Amino acid sequence: MKRFDLVCFDVDGTLVTHPRGKVVWQILNERFAGQRDVNEERFLRYSGGEITYAEWVALDIGDWAAAGARKEEVVEAIGALRLVDGARETLRALKDAGSRLAVISGTLDVCLDVLFPDHPFDEVFTNRIRFAEDGSIAGWDATPFDMDGKALALETIAAREGIPLERTAFVGDHANDVAAARSAGFAVAFNCKSEELAAVADVVVHDPDMRALLPHLMVMSGS
């Protein structure tokens, strides 16, 4: 049985993983811009108020476009990531139990398209890349729903669907998930990489298999 009417997920580090803990932005920056430390440098500029989130996204994707990145090359690079074990089974169990599912993430839409094209999410809030017919990068749309904006996305979905916040859950892994974790009725820090997130989460789960979340997100048989 469902425990929550709405369950929202982060993507990088939560639904998808990398052998060395990299996220899609790091992989693509290294592939097309040849820069290993640009993510940290631009995060510091963003957190210091020097650039906006949309400007940060534009700097990254603009670099890839300037380097001549093509869709097939982006897809190939994303192949270094994979879905975490048990992700499909976990989401299917939640869906079958009647929960609405959403992605609220600073990832790229192409990441889900490549790794989880058959995903069961009812709503997807991510950054988006637009490709031209020849595969080149034609443009992009920065999500307003990363960082603190994740809470707004969760609250927007809940309000539209008439779901009380106490009937919502959020699953994430890092500091940019803190606002959503605070807003949700129940928060899970999954394979957590942030002490701040662990401190505000209702439960911290360290497990290579996402099915370990089910006892927290569903009313299990016999319980």
Residues 74 and 87 in one domain: no
Query: Which is nearest to 95 in space by CA: 7, 158, 189, 154?
Result: 7
Domain presence at residue 30: yes
d(C-alpha 32, C-alpha 197), whole Å = 31
**Do residue 127 and residue 188 come from a single domain?**
yes
Same domain for 101 and 187, yes or no, is: yes
pLDDT at 178: 98
Token match 């192949």: residue?
A: 79
Q: Domain limits at 169?
A: 6-18+82-217
Domain count, the chain: 2
CB 218 within 8 A of CB 200: no
Radius of gyration in angstroms for the set of CA atoms belonging to the chain, rounded to a whole number: 17
DSSP state of 197: H
User: pLDDT at position 36, please?
Assistant: 76
**Of the residues 36, 63, 78, the one at which a domain ends:** 78
Considering the domain architecture, whether residues 70 and 130 belong to the same structural domain is answered as no
Q: How far apart are CA 193 and CA 34, in angstroms?
A: 25
Q: Which residues of the chain have pLDDT under 70?
A: 221-223
Measured between alpha carbons, how far apart are the two ends of the chain, in Å? 10
147, 177 contact by CB (below 8 A): no
**Is 223 part of a structural domain of the chain?**
no
